[in-house]
Amino acid sequence: MNKNVWLLAACQSLMMTNNALLVTTSALVGVSLASNAAYATLPLALQFMSTMVASIPASLLMGRVGRRTGFLFASLIGLAGGAVATIGIIQGSFWLFCLGTILIGIFNGFGIYYRFAAVDVVTESMKSRAISYVMAGGVIAAILGPNIASWTDGSFEATPFAGSYLVATGLYVLTMIILLFTRVPHQRPVSSEQTKTRVSDMIRRPVFVVAVICGMLGYAVMSLVMTATPLAMSHDHHSLSDTSFVIQWHVLGMFAPSFVTGYLISRVGLINIMLAGAVLLVMAVMVNLLGLSLWHYWFALLCLGIGWNFLFIGATDLLTYTYSENEKSKAQAINDFSVFSAVTAAALTAGYLQNVFGWQMVNLGVTPLIAIILLALLWLKRTHPAPESQQISVSA
């Protein structure tokens, strides 16, 4: 495997470490700083929102200046975000903390393209494995992210978690260093085809739509349940260490399967792996509805993470078959804008649903989304049983 894949995987792992840290702590920081507990998940929602807003200009900018230049620029923004969030916690300013998470979200708006950058540095036959290996970088995040929250909780006695975000700031510096050694080829469009392709042309491609739906709704389901989990566990009198344990295993479930997901796709089939991911989301909801013990949370969030992994990697792989080289930046921008629009809505909804209606409604609320994913995949299996073997951008 190309060494640049591993360097991109390292960058992915650092980004996801900080994201896991935010998932574990941001709602708790929000409760301590906000005037109303209903705003507890607003900082995380703003992070997702800024990722959504940044996703389109990030893709188009990197289409012009190259992936590495774009990633380096974004790292400076992430560095500023970590510093601002730390200052916000120390000063007890909820809105300054929110500004920090917005800047971190802008960095993520660039970082979400690490997986597509991996596709640019490998051969056609290795695409799914390259995507998987980059996503596997999140395994480090599963270990470090929640534990950084626990290890640094008391670093600043009067301001819990300030030390956590100070560490996060340092991780953006490390990302910049790794990027200096990374090489991603920059291929400019060779014709005017990219500018002529309209969004309406792309969304008339059914398989493109299925790829976007599965990536978008799968991520939204995972985000809504994951974001509400720390609040639900706190409500059920579970300790911070219990919450960190559950989130750690959830993030492991999100990324550890990546070492084999690409291989499974090549052996079992792309659609079958995505269907397995949707079934695992169903299992997560069912377990959450059955009980409130630590082990119910643990097993449900583990299933949630693995299900997301299969769906997200599968949807990313599927998407790469639905556009030409000259359409790449626009197609990826449409996809990731759609994905993080749904994630933002889920994160905004999570705190409200949990605080007003409770944990049961959070889980019941995601069931229609999972049903749509299943129906879309069953249609795809009937009409395009082996999409990876077809030139979908031309024929579908």
In this structure, what token pair is assigned to residue 241? Answer: 């260490």
**pLDDT score for 396:** 46
Using an 8 Å Cβ cutoff, are 321 and 387 in contact? yes
Do you know the residue count of the chain?
396
The pLDDT of 75-79, averaged and rounded, is: 95
The C-alpha atoms of residue 249 and residue 221 are separated, in whole angstroms, by: 17
State the chain's mean pLDDT as an integer.
85
Higher-pLDDT residue of 186, 148: 148
Q: Is the pLDDT of residue 73 over 90?
A: yes
Most confident of 26-30, 188-192, 221-225, 383-387: 221-225
DSSP string, 240-267: HHHHHHHHHHHHHHHHTTHHHHHHHHHH
The pLDDT > 70 percentage for the chain reads 91
Using an 8 Å Cβ cutoff, are 314 and 214 in contact? yes
- End-to-end Cα, the chain, rounded Å: 31
395 falls in which pLDDT band (50, 70, 90)? very low
**pLDDT score for 172:** 94
Higher-pLDDT residue of 184, 287: 287
The pLDDT of 20-24, averaged and rounded, is: 80
> pLDDT tens digit string along 251-287?
889 888 888 888 898 888 899 999 999 999 999 999 9
In this structure, what token pair is assigned to residue 21? Answer: 């840290």
**pLDDT score for 279:** 96
The pLDDT of 246-250, averaged and rounded, is: 86
Using an 8 Å Cβ cutoff, are 222 and 285 in contact? no
Tell me whether residue 283 is exposed, middle or buried, using C-beta atoms within 10 angstroms of its C-beta: 0 to 12, 13 to 18, 19 or more.
middle
**pLDDT score for 242:** 87
CATH number (1.25.40.10, 1.20.1250.20, 3.40.50.720, 2.40.50.140) of 3-184+199-395 reads: 1.20.1250.20
The pLDDT of 229-252, averaged and rounded, is: 84
Tell me whether residue 355 is exposed, middle or buried, using C-beta atoms within 10 angstroms of its C-beta: 0 to 12, 13 to 18, 19 or more.
middle
Using an 8 Å Cβ cutoff, are 113 and 67 in contact? yes
Which residue's structure tokens are 């500018």? 195
Using an 8 Å Cβ cutoff, are 238 and 331 in contact? no
Least confident of 137-141, 188-192, 218-222, 379-383: 188-192
Whole-angstrom Cα Rg for the chain:
20
Q: Is the pLDDT of residue 124 over 80?
A: no
Q: Is the pLDDT of residue 241 over 90?
A: no
Domain ranges of the chain: 3-184+199-395
Provide the CA 299 distance to its chain's centre, in angstroms.
20
> pLDDT tens digit string along 131-152?
888 888 778 777 777 777 767 7
The pLDDT of 18-45, averaged and rounded, is: 81
**pLDDT score for 389:** 57
> pLDDT tens digit string along 300-350?
999 999 999 999 999 988 998 888 777 887 888 888 889 888 887 887 788
Q: Is the pLDDT of residue 244 over 70?
A: yes
Contacts of residue 255, defined as CB under 8 A and 6 or more positions apart, other chains included, come to 16, 135, 136, 137, 138, 139, 141, 142, 305, 309
194 falls in which pLDDT band (50, 70, 90)? very low
Least confident of 38-47, 82-91, 222-231, 268-277: 38-47
Higher-pLDDT residue of 198, 115: 115
Buried b (16+ CB within 10 A) or exposed e, 238-265: bebebbbbbbbbbbbbbbbbbeebbebb
In 10 A of CB 209, how many CB atoms? 17
In this structure, what token pair is assigned to residue 75? Answer: 């790292």
**pLDDT score for 304:** 96
Using an 8 Å Cβ cutoff, are 305 and 253 in contact? yes
Q: Is the pLDDT of residue 96 over 80?
A: yes
**pLDDT score for 154:** 65
**pLDDT score for 315:** 93
